[in-house]
Amino acid sequence: MTNSVRRQKPFLSLCAVFAALSAGLLIYSQTQALAWDEGFHLLAAQLIKAGKTPYLDFCFPQTPLNAYWNAGWMRIFGDSWRVVHSLAALLTAGAIALAADFVFVRFPVPDWRFAASLVAALLIGLNGMIVQFATVGQAYGMCLFLIVAAFRLSILAVDRNGPWLAALAGFLAAAASGSSLLTAPVAPVLVLWIMLHNRIGSSLRKFAGFIAGAMAAFIPVFWLFAEAPRQVLFNLIQFHLFYRSVEWHNAVQHDLEVLTAWVDSTEALLLGLLAAAGVLFTIKSRQDSRWREELVLCCWLAAALALYISTAHPTFERYFLLLVPFLGILASVGFYEITSRLDTSGRRFWPVVVVTVLLCLGLAREIYERRDSYTWPDLQEVANQVDQVTAPRAPLLADEQIYFLTRRTPPSGLEFPDSQKLNLPPVVAALMHIVPRAEFAKRVQARMFDTVETCNDEDDERFTILGLPQVYSQKVVVENCKIFWDRLP
């Protein structure tokens, strides 16, 4: 049944749309994509490639699989952000394909199968957060692919006799958590759903298989914990519980603004309203119980992720992009239920065009609003200037993006800039490779760095504390980043 459905001509048209979305993601990833926070992710991968170990050798408050993934590809193709961005874009495209294919294969109304799956693909692939942040060096692209793949495998697992598909689903769901803790709710939701909806074979065997697969995915984390338990606990648990909001003034107000930001977003409003309609009709539906169960799983995954991500303090809009594939599937149902009740005279093309135009306009606006933001080619110009004024092995104080681009190893404590805001007991700070910002200011005043680069504004606290104009005689501004060198006596 599944293969015969994919042999139909509409599926080829869907593949063409998917290819266009993939090309768009790849192009954006190589031209405009840059998230400032990805700098320390890429630097971490570069340090791993050079033989260093996260937690043991530098502060890294993230689960490590994405960093090791990027380091592996850097070992093959070199320390290039372009390689990492390309891989992230392809993984994101894979998540879109898996979600759209699910709708195409499983949608219970054959005449609407293509339109519904096309809307799902567009709602995911033209989402501004997906385009801007799932194409960078952070773990979003990998997590999207892994959680959607785990979702697809979990659905298959309940109809198979053995535990192997459940084990693979557990492995992928845990690998997503091993790449970013933001996806932590996915594995519990999937294993519970498998237990409740299992149709063939032993539920306990599938539960055991799922847990075994999940444990296998976390072997790198367990190994690091065995090597340095205090550092791993600090980076993965204590930092997020006690230190994330340090120096975040009005953090509660910030979180409230993030949680209500969807009101100003065309894509978020459209996605949310259609998904809400899909949920409503799913609850009321009494047809095709399997399809309904699978949609309910999408509801639980989206709800669990939304609630969990909302508890991050501070939280950010881009975190919620992890919900988009599951909301997109639900929205395709809402799209069908609404448009099929309208007098479209059998023409399903025009409602799809309307959705596409709205999504494109919203995406174009978001990209236009970021037109003055930094890009990696901009930062490469800064890095080139730093290399010109700094000897190869001279001490350098710079942003993590510049360390990555110049392939210079940062002094201990500069791998993760946010750690500099922490004031821990000296013994603990040394163990965690954390150096307070005030200490770096002292080192600057003591003329310990040949060059200092910063992309912060002159009225920024860091710039003021360092007192750079009193230490260096030479200054140049490149792409709004300031470079100081030639130390005064």
Query: Alpha helices, DSSP H only, in 340-375?
Result: 349-369
Helix count (H) and strand count (E) of the chain?
Answer: 23, 4
- Of 470, 465, 462, 467, nearest in space to 487 by CA: 470
Q: Compute the distance between CA of residue 157 and CA of residue 316 in angstroms, rounded to an integer.
A: 34
What lies within 8 Å, CB to CB, of 206 at 6+ separation is: 157, 158, 163, 166, 194, 195, 198
Strand 396-397, strand 481-487: pairing: unpaired
Of the listed ranges 262-276, 332-346, 429-443, the one predicted with least confidence: 332-346
Amino acid present at 187 = A
Span 339-393, pLDDT tens digits = 887 765 556 688 888 998 999 999 999 888 888 889 999 999 999 999 999 999 8
Residue 213 near residue 174 (C-beta atoms within 8 A): yes
Peptide bond into 411 cis (omega under 30): no
Q: pLDDT: is 471 or 217 the higher one?
A: 217
What lies within 8 Å, CB to CB, of 244 at 6+ separation is: 312, 313, 314
Q: pLDDT: is 347 or 395 the higher one?
A: 395
pLDDT at residue 40, rounded to an integer:
92
The DSSP letter of residue 347 is -
Residue 179 near residue 146 (C-beta atoms within 8 A): yes
What lies within 8 Å, CB to CB, of 398 at 6+ separation is: 386, 406, 408, 410, 414, 451, 452, 453, 454
Q: Compute the distance between CA of residue 83 and CA of residue 374 in angstroms, rounded to an integer.
A: 19
What count of residues does the chain have?
A: 489
Mean pLDDT value of segment 28-51: 94
pLDDT at residue 140, rounded to an integer:
97
Listing DSSP states for 432-476 in one string gives: TT---HHHHHHHHHTT--SEEEE-S-TTSHHHHHHTGGGTEEEEE
Q: Which two tokens stand for residue 214?
A: 């999940």
Residue 459 pLDDT grade (very low, low, confident, very high; cuts 50, 70, 90): very low
Q: Compute the distance between CA of residue 395 and CA of residue 369 in angstroms, rounded to an integer.
A: 37
Span 108-148, pLDDT tens digits = 888 888 999 999 999 999 999 999 999 999 999 999 999 99
What lies within 8 Å, CB to CB, of 59 at 6+ separation is: 235, 413, 415, 416, 419, 432, 433, 434
Q: Compute the distance between CA of residue 379 and CA of residue 401 in angstroms, rounded to an integer.
A: 7
Q: What is the distance, to the nearest Å, from the Cα of residue 22 to the centroid of all Cα atoms in its chain?
A: 17
Q: What is the distance, to the nearest Å, from the Cα of residue 247 to the centroid of all Cα atoms in its chain?
A: 24
Residue 458 has pLDDT above 60, yes or no: no
Q: Compute the distance between CA of residue 261 and CA of residue 254 in angstroms, rounded to an integer.
A: 10
483 strand-pairing partners: 453, 476
Query: Alpha helices, DSSP H only, in 181-250?
Result: 186-197, 203-217, 219-227, 229-233
Residue 483 has pLDDT above 80, yes or no: yes
Residue 460 has pLDDT above 60, yes or no: no
Mean pLDDT value of segment 61-89: 96
